[in-house]
Amino acid sequence: MRGSDNIKNGLVPFRAEPIAASAINSTPVLTRRPGVAASTGSDPSSDRRIGLPSKPVGTLYRGHEGMWSWVAHRITGVGIFFFLLVHVLDTALVRVSPEAYNEVIGTYKNPIVGLMEVGLVGAILFHAFNGIRLILVDFWAKGPRNQRKLMIGVGVVWIVLFVPFVIRHLMHVFGGE
């Protein structure tokens, strides 16, 4: 697009941030002026902003393993918190009424709770090993450069410990041991 076409289509040079020394020779970002309609020309790129990164398809997040481990760490942390809340409340029943405690614990002995226990152990394992990874990323000088390798290590250790537990636990839940 030529300069006069930009103004005709409502695009004007705009910089939201101060100009850095490395950006002096860069192309300015063009944005549409309020109230000016987009061009309906044959150029498919005429309706888009120029110079902005496009969003990855299928996600709102632009991060890689670091972003997804952050999301998973928060989700597992919230899940573990709610488990601990329920655990403290049902354990407190022992002091109130041992019979009520035994009744509540009896309701936990079913396959659905057994599957929830698998999820709990998976969440605890991931949260623990990802926490160690976060400590290494934050406090080890080479941590940020090795973030991808550390995340792969978390995944490998998680699988090595989680798969045998799942097999043994599900044999217990569904086998009636």
Q: Tens digit of pLDDT for each residue in 80-126?
A: 999 999 999 999 999 999 999 999 999 999 999 999 999 999 999 99
Q: What percent of the chain has pLDDT over 90?
A: 55
Contacts of 135 (CB under 8 A, 6+ apart): none
Cα–Cα distance for residue pair 4/11, rounded to 1 Å:
10
Residue 28: pLDDT over 70? no
Q: Which pLDDT score, from 0 to 100, does residue 175 have?
A: 86
Contacts of 171 (CB under 8 A, 6+ apart): 177
pTM over 0.75: no
